[in-house]
Amino acid sequence: MKKIMTLLTSLIIIGTTSIAFATSPGDDPAAAKYPEGAKIYAAKCVACHQVTGMGIPNAFPPLKGSDYLMADKKRAVEQVLNGSHEEMVVNGVTYNMPMPFQVDTHQDAVHVINYVLNAWGNNGGSITLEDVKDIEKVR
């Protein structure tokens, strides 16, 4: 029994270490560049859009390689600030579940969108607070 417990404990330790390793800035150039955004992603987005940025097929759209995201950065900032409640086609797949608002400030929305624009090999450029200051916060 003691052996089994030790084994289980080491498996848990290995598991946690590899998760920490996989998300450490050293492995993720986007997290090194946008650390605040990476933190917000890990806290608020990962449950639906996943560590891989691939989402969940037919439920939560991908952010990795998303044609929809790349088409309009400002719209993405608005979606995390105010939520999104419309049917959309992402990489040829239709999604229409609502996304509740995710962040409280324009600055946090810009941080996390700059992260996702560049995570997982995305090459989506960046957006500034100045670009989005006219977005009205709707709650």
Per CB under 6 A, which of residues 32..91 are in contact with ligand HEC? Answer: 40, 44-45, 47-49, 60-63, 66, 68-69, 76, 79-80, 84-86, 88, 90
Contacts (Cβ under 8 Å, ≥6 apart) of 56 = 48, 50
- Output 13 or 66, the one with its CB closest to ligand HEC: 66
- Give the residue from 137, 124, 131, 83 showing the smallest Cα distance to 110: 131
At residue 32, what is the residue type? A
The string over 39-72, giving b where at least 16 C-beta atoms fall within 10 Å of a residue's C-beta and e elsewhere, is bbbeeebeeebeeebbbeeeebbbbbbbebbeee
- Select the span of 1-9, 27-35, 96-104, 120-128 touching ligand HEC (CB under 6 A): 96-104
Selected from 97, 121, 125, 128, the binder of ligand HEC by CB under 6 A is: 97
- Output 11 or 67, the one with its CB closest to ligand HEC: 67
What residues line the site for ligand HEC (CB under 6 A)?
A: 40, 44-45, 47-49, 60-63, 66, 68-69, 76, 79-80, 84-86, 88, 90, 95-99, 102-103, 112, 116
